[in-house]
Structure 1
Amino acid sequence: MIELEIQGLSPTREGLLIEVGRFVMAHGFTLQRQRLVQDHHGILLTMVVRGPSRGRKALEAALGAYERFISFQMFPFVDGEPKPHFAASLPRMAYTPPPAPPVAAPAPPPVTASATSPTDTPTKAAASASPDAPEPRQAPAAEPDFEFIQPTPRPPAAAPAAVAATPFVDLVPLGPDEPAVEKMLRALEYDYPKIVPQLLALQQSVAEAARESSLALAGKRTGSWVFRSEYLLDDGLDLREAIERIGVPALHALVEVDQQGTQLHIHDSPLCAQDGHSGCSFFGGFLEGLLGPAIAPGSMSIFPVCCRSYGADACVLELSD
């Protein structure tokens, strides 16, 4: 078994995860994680899949012929070494303005000394002696020197602080928190089907690494209880019939859902927020506990194709026997 990382660039988003997920399943691979990001180049898709090494070339050829991919890359996945998407926009470099020119100090004005002409003395004496004599003309005042004033340059704008990227941490999954699940299901017969607040509280009360397993256990026990309460006489069905007669009506009591073959599309799931925290494990466990007793002898597997918490339009579960 090998793990591969698929990176693709597509101009449109709608249904992209579902279609690529079908390619993955058709070639014997299972989806480990997924991510869908809006970029000004287009939609950036990242998937980590696991499957047989012999199916790599066939999967690569199928994705290469996929008409919605502008381009894609596939390479071995190395845990703990996240790779940037090949089509992601590069961050813009911060502009650093040139240094301001030095400010020239204004030149001091010249000092003008008043010189006394030797001929002024007899004139002043004559003026003082003769009161009828006209007053002497005064020399015009010297004009002040023009002072150049340079504008003070504005200080350069501070460069924006670099935002440190948050590293991706892959949590080691833990088993379910059974006491928390038991507490949540204590009043199930009175609360059902209005159990979304209890499920949200369960998500917050358990450890992050135990969240999916706890939701799956809560879903399985809830589904088993619903089957015993409402569908106990419906058994020996094939998968499609069980989905249509039991799965869809039971899920309708909790969320908006529609059936497309062996796929269930869950719209606006309240358990799947837009932050990468998927609650689809509850619905997978719910269907396992609900449909398992109704299907004719055989096994049933539930594969989460995509989730709205990772950017998909709806949460899609693929059921197979």
Structure 2
Amino acid sequence: MAEMEVRVVSERKDGLLVELGRVVAQYGHVLLRQRLVQEARGACLTLLLSGPDDRQLALEEALGSHPRVLSFESLRPVLVPLRESAASATEPAPTPIRVMAASADVARVERMLPNMAKDYPRIFPWLINLEYAVAEEARDASLYLAGRRTGSWVFKRDFALSARLSLSDAIRRIALPALRVLVNVDHEGHQLHVKACPLCQPGGASGGRFFCGFIEGLLAESVGARAVFARETSCHSQGAALCVFDISQ
């Protein structure tokens, strides 16, 4: 378990703590302390959280892409490796570095979504344009947000009447057919294998965050209350034959 501090700004404070608290709990974290103040640019909410290390990044992305969040910052310690030199044992330990997680360009993604819906499934030109339009540090979070919103929209349009499914059945009956409209994809257990991904050209940057968000958006409402997580474990942009996505709860 590790602590992390997040700071969000929203247009209004009514119900903000309750809504974001649900997200925090969904990702296995607990709230240790909070501070909510009204500033000139909106309601500023600071949360001190504790939870599993392997869910911190997913929680940051979920909070940063939440529709009520205008800006998002995350502060968490970066572990400093132990030095092997015996002489270093007498040196004082360095002060932990704190890093800021970039947030999605929410406004630009929101403006793009109606066009993606109109042109669906021919969405990759819009996504490639998004990659170039946003700041480099906001690229991955913006792709994830676009994927999450698109996946949720596709689920509501095509699969909302489906019964609650196990994760395996949801991958086979929802994620697989939805992705096959966009790309060449197969599945093996809880993995999806995407061939020749248009967003992951060899030597370029990975576009896997879009597919992680798309898969999570597709499956979030189909498998019950537990959160769904998609993680890219292999990418065509880095020389792999396939882009591989592991899906878990």
TM over 0.5, yes or no? yes
Give the percent of matched residue pairs that are identical in Structure 1 and Structure 2. 44
Matched, 1:315 2:243: yes
Determine which of 213, 227, 233 is the counterpart of 2:141.
Answer: 213
User: Partners in 2 of 1:301 and 1:182 — Cα distance?
Assistant: 23
Q: What does residue 267 of structure 1 align with? A: 195
Look up the equivalent residue of 1:265 and give its one-letter code: H
User: Partners in 1 of 2:248 and 2:207 — Cα distance?
Assistant: 20
Answer with 1 or 2: which has the greater Rg.
1
Query: Which consecutive segments of 4 or more residues in structure 1 shift more than 4 A?
Result: none
How big is the shift at 1:188?
3.0
Look up the equivalent residue of 1:239 and give its one-letter code: L
- Report the secondary structure of 1:245's partner residue: helix
Mapped contact 1:239–1:295 kept (Cα < 8 A): yes
- Report the secondary structure of 1:187's partner residue: helix
Structure 2: which 5+ runs fail to align? 2-52, 58-78, 84-98
Q: TM-score normalized by structure 1?
A: 0.47
Query: C-alpha deviations, 1:48-76, integer Å up to 9, x for none?
Result: xxxxx9xxxxxxxxxxxxxxxxxxxxxx5
CA RMSD of aligned residues (A): 2.7
Q: What does residue 107 of structure 1 align with? A: none
Q: What does residue 243 of structure 1 align with? A: 171
User: Partners in 2 of 1:77 and 1:209 — Cα distance?
Assistant: 29
User: Partners in 2 of 1:294 and 1:235 — Cα distance?
Assistant: 7
Q: How many residues align?
A: 162
- Report the secondary structure of 2:149's partner residue: helix
User: Partners in 1 of 2:110 and 2:243 — Cα distance?
Assistant: 26
Structure with bigger helix share is 2
Q: Name the stretch that deviates more: 280-289 or 180-189.
A: 180-189
User: Partners in 2 of 1:214 and 1:293 — Cα distance?
Assistant: 22
Structure with bigger strand share is 2
Determine which of 218, 221, 225 is the counterpart of 1:293.
Answer: 221
Matched, 1:200 2:128: yes
Q: TM-score normalized by structure 2?
A: 0.60
Look up the equivalent residue of 1:225 and give its one-letter code: W
- Report the secondary structure of 2:246's partner residue: strand
